Amino acid sequence: MNFANSIEAFERAKKSIPGGVNSPVRAFSSVGGTPPFIARGEGAYLIDIDGNKFIDYIQSWGPLILGHSNERVINKLKDAVYRGFSYGAPTVAETELAEKIKYLFPHVELLRFVSSGTEAVMSAIRVARGYTNKNDIIKFEGNYHGHSDSLLVKAGSGATTFGSPSSAGVPESFTKHTYLAKYNNIQSVKNAFESSQTNSGGIACVIIEPIAGNMGLVPAELEFLQELRTLCDKNSAVLIFDEVMSGFRADLRGAFGLTNIKADLITFGKVIGGGMPVGAFGGRADIMQKLSPLGNVYQAGTLSGNPLAMAVGNETLDILLENQNIYKILNSRAETLMNGFKKSADKNRIPLQIDVRGSMFGFFFNSQKVKNFDDALKSDTVRFAKFYRAMLELGIYLAPSQFEAGFISVSIDENIIQETIAKADEVMANL
């Protein structure tokens, strides 16, 4: 493939945008080469400014479950555009979308829209702290909840220590109330609860990706989530499920549909905006009523509930509600894709771990099953980079990092899946 125009565009972008990109993973730092600059999306495909056509397994990092440029969604967006871009005032569309989410998540009694997943998580933690009158939180290594200061943490010196900042510009005092636990390791959570109780009066909330997608696809084990629910109840802590990525992706009802575990608060994003900037957080009424104007926890946003995002979100969820068999179809296609990768890897004696949840998939060049971030870090990232670049040259657009999940859209049919498997088989033979 020829990437001359993208190379030129990348160099131009670097002169005005840090690193030439507006989100770090787009820079292809972990896989090498120049990122294709995209001109348009059509169904299952992305077309770049050099005219290269790629099968898109990123789908804007999840929201495009219906594929690019779905006709029904576009028509609904057009109608909304002609009525105005933003009002900064309430609309019926906000209530309609909230009602759809509540219907699918019955334990979500009240819901508030924001403009991003980061904002949703930041707000959910704030209201959890306001509700419990406690400061400390627990998060898990390898889980990503956006770039707010208190969540950009790395492990401290011991299993029960506070996290320390993992980004410059974040004062240590901002993360001193954040404890890090190990994913799928309940003892590490118990240790954090005990340490917090001793040091500062207890944990306000535990936040987790019940189906992690930011260290690769790593689902939490059912028993682990059940024990987490019990621990939070025992310690009067709020359990927050971050489903910005997995909500309406792994299942129509997210992790709740697969585990039947009711979190106290849930954060949403991605699919509920159908590709438009949107996020939401919601849950138990007694917690959510702490928010202004009902309570004393302040949160606001001019673009929250933006009418364009609400129009696209409503139409996307309407289509999914009308066609709930979509999830079985997408799960089957994701399993076919991953089993194809695994068969090819085995044939070529390449260690590969695979997993699927609904329309989400993941694979690791790793000799052991990946259950947490430590396991994920043992993956062969050099081999992944080689695989990635070779697949890109063959027109397959995967997430440019070993530590990101992939996504199937409705537009990716069985023929496209088989084409991808054939190309993966070709690449695996040369790894």
Active site residues: 144, 242, 270
Please state the separation of Cα 210 from the chain's center in Å. Answer: 11
- Of 69, 23, 62, 27, nearest in space to 45 by CA: 69
- Of 285, 284, 236, 245, nearest in space to 262 by CA: 284
Residue count (the chain): 431
Q: Is 27 helix (H, G, I), strand (E, B) or coil?
A: helix
N-term to C-term CA, the chain: 20
- CA distance to 110, 127, 132, 147, 241, per residue, from 286 (Å): 9, 11, 11, 27, 17
Pairing between β-strand 203-208 and β-strand 238-242 as defined by DSSP bridges: parallel
- Of 107, 66, 158, nearest in space to 359 by CA: 66
Give kind and range of the element (H or E) at residue 18.
none
Q: Which residues of 96-135 are buried (b: 16+ CB within 10 A; e: fewer)?
A: ebbebbeebbeebebbbbbbbbbbbbbbbbbbbbbbbebb
Taking residue 350's Cβ as centre, other Cβ atoms within 10 Å add up to 18
Cα 146 to Cα 240: distance, rounded to the nearest angstrom: 14
Q: Are 55 and 420 in contact (CB under 8 A)?
A: yes
Q: Is 67 helix (H, G, I), strand (E, B) or coil?
A: coil
- Helix 414-428 vs helix 326-347: crossing angle, to nearest 10: 20
SS (H, E, C) 107-160: CCCEEEEECCHHHHHHHHHHHHHHHHCCCEEEEECCCCCCCCHHHCEECCCCCC
